[in-house]
Structure 1
Amino acid sequence: MNAGTMTIGVLVLASALASTFASAPARAAEPKPLPPKASVGEIVKESKAADWRPLDLENTLYMDLPGGRVVIELAPPFALNHAANIKALAREHYFDGLVVLRSQDNFVVQWGDPDEKNPRPVKDAKMKLKAEFTAPIKNDRHFTRLKDVDGYAPQVGHSNGFPVGRDPKKGETWLAHCYAMVGVGRDNEADSGGGTALYVVTGQAPRHLDRNITVVGRVVSGMPLLSSMPRGPAPMGFYDKPEMQVPIKSLRVAADVPQEERSNFEVMRTDSATYQKVVEAQRNRGGPWNVVAAGHVDLCNAPIPVREKSGEQK
């Protein structure tokens, strides 16, 4: 190799190296710490009385278990007939003495009559109703839409303290299967449920059930009593021994309970400006712990604050 050839080789190598370094991606900059923002807890703490509403006693259920009370609020605009039938069942004491009979891991806890061969009869209520998987949009007068995209509904948001999906083209709305939502158990036939078997979502939100089961409300207090129940060893989490079942002491409509025995909870108004701050805080959490803001909130991860109010509930 002569001097001229060596010089050309060096120049080619230098050019190649320069091209390689020029095309190499720049090293990603370290994310800047997020600025501090008000947390959900701080927003709730600074809320005003007008940001809250009391539970509707006529549409609130108290399910008393050996470990404490579960408070359920019904949502009649989304399942009018089922809500009325469940209240009728409660008023004829149908659930008293029945049991929690199923706890399936990462899914649901269910209660009702464990005796399929000789089920408890009903009196004035009905065993079966026509399914109410969706309701007309006109029934919902409190919808506040989330701007976030959802994979299960064209639009999602909240209505008077409940997570909902809706399809404006079809004119339909429905309650979503988020954690703590209460639904009506049924068989394969769509119209085979009526409220004698109820379940609550205790795991990852099974949104694929939306519009396949009648959803009637949500638990506003007492979820730890349900979500911590031992998982059933039989298929679908059923308890295979009677001693594993948890007895229901009573299930009553709150309006029928003496005032001194009532629970006193209120729910943040989901159409309030303060609740929109709660959602935004969840969507874009600030520092110092968070490094990256998600810029997104899932319908079932938008918290709906509930608080116990001191004093008597009227």
Structure 2
Amino acid sequence: MNKLLSIASLAALAVSAPALAQETEKTEYPSPNAIVDTAPARDWVKISPSDLLVMDLAPDAEGNARRVVIQLMPKPFSQGWIRNIRKLAAAHWWDGTSINRVQDNYVVQWGDAGYDNPESGETEQKALPEGLEIMTDRQYEMIQQPVALIKLPQNMVKAREDQRGDGYATWVRHKQGWPIGSGRFSQWPIHCYGAVGVGRNLSPDTGSGAELYTVIGHAPRHLDRNIAVVGRVIEGIEHLSSLPRGKGQLGFYEDASKRVPITSIRLGEALAEDPSPAFEYLDTESEAFAQYADARANRRDPFFIKPAGGADICNIPVPVRRVSGE
């Protein structure tokens, strides 16, 4: 491992040396938001409507609509669960279910209220569509050839800004627009704020995808490789993070009236709307993203006094923006 870290460190020096030379000549630095705002159009990647999961909740107490938009993980990660999620959405399975768990600084969970909360007295489970796949816990990560035999991507070095490694992975990087952890023989999606995962019972159960949750607190990285990450919330997280906390065990609502009804969950391509919601993310292999990641790790804009010199992978969220639909 030390040898690999040395290789990464040398690569980081090679990448950062020109920037350091330039910094001696500059007195002002753009903020991360400024870098994102000026990123050229070529550095943005359109998200396919088929990769959007759109959840509409019942209106709030003032009658305001509440919509949460989720981007599903790309291949090769978590695809068995995602195929199930597509089937569940097509079957309108989530219509009439609810948000039934809100645990402070942890997660919001939705699905069949009786599934994971037998203490509520509800033992009925909503019948699932036929043909759902069953996954094993080995599918929480993707097996790969030894990293020592792979050329380290420049993006991986830049994501590991402080070169001290990561408490939960040997390497961390952004890949295809997502935060990814890697070891010598495997790689896996990371639980950052807004990540969407699959609820399950004790192993060997890995969950079907019918019970989902999103992170609303400090990144619970201990869940990495223990639960399937299937996506992330890209719009409307405030409709989940601001909900009253459940008073029952693990944040489940003991009072059924506190649950938030789900009116529908559809794939973006199935919405009867014109135009349908459209989004794009900043390409994590682009120069604009490299500058953005550096700015997140080394804040030099006027508010900051001392640059941190590093950033947790979850503190470099991939910029996503809404665009005009076609």
Instruction: Tell me the residue number matched to 2:85.
Output: 86
Stretches of 4+ aligned residues off by more than 6 angstroms = none
Matched, 1:120 2:119: no
Q: In structure 2, how many angstroms separate the alpha carbons of the residues matched to 1:247 and 1:127? A: 27
Aligned to 2:71, what secondary structure does the other structure show?
Answer: strand
Q: Which stretches in structure 2 are left out of the alignment for 5+ residues?
A: 1-25, 59-64, 116-122, 146-152
Aligned to 1:77, what secondary structure does the other structure show?
Answer: coil
Aligned to 2:290, what secondary structure does the other structure show?
Answer: helix
Q: In structure 2, how many angstroms separate the alpha carbons of the residues matched to 1:73 and 1:287? A: 31
Residue pair 2:81, 2:133 contacting (<8 A) in 1 also = no
Relative to the length of structure 2, the TM-score reads 0.80
Cα deviation 1:180-238 (Å, max 9, x = unaligned): 00000111113341101000000000101111111111111111111111100111110
Alignment of 1:60-139 (within 5 A): 60-66=52-58, 67-75=65-73, 76-116=75-115, 117-126=123-132, 128-131=134-137, 132-137=139-144
Residue pair 1:137, 1:173 contacting (<8 A) in 2 also = yes
Q: In structure 1, how many angstroms separate the alpha carbons of the residues matched to 2:181 and 2:206? A: 24
Q: 1:99 to 1:125 in 2, by over 3 A?
A: farther
Matched, 1:227 2:226: no
Residue pair 1:176, 1:210 contacting (<8 A) in 2 also = yes
TM-superposed deviation, 1:156? 0.4
Q: In structure 2, how many angstroms separate the alpha carbons of the residues matched to 1:127 and 1:105? A: 32
Residue pair 2:102, 2:252 contacting (<8 A) in 1 also = yes
Which of 275, 279, 303 is 1:289 aligned to?
303
Instruction: Tell me the residue number matched to 1:155.
Output: 171
Instruction: Tell me the residue number matched to 1:239.
Output: 253
Residue pair 1:137, 1:166 contacting (<8 A) in 2 also = no
Residue correspondences, number: 273
Alignment of 1:193-204 (within 5 A): 193-204=207-218
Write the letter of the residue equivalent to 1:296.
G
TM-superposed deviation, 1:124? 2.8
Percent identity of equivalent pairs: 39
Q: In structure 2, how many angstroms separate the alpha carbons of the residues matched to 1:196 and 1:123? A: 10
Q: In structure 1, how many angstroms separate the alpha carbons of the residues matched to 2:97 and 2:307? A: 46
Residue pair 2:199, 2:213 contacting (<8 A) in 1 also = yes
Relative to the length of structure 1, the TM-score reads 0.83
Residue pair 2:206, 2:227 contacting (<8 A) in 1 also = no
Cα deviation 1:90-117 (Å, max 9, x = unaligned): 1011111100000000000000101242
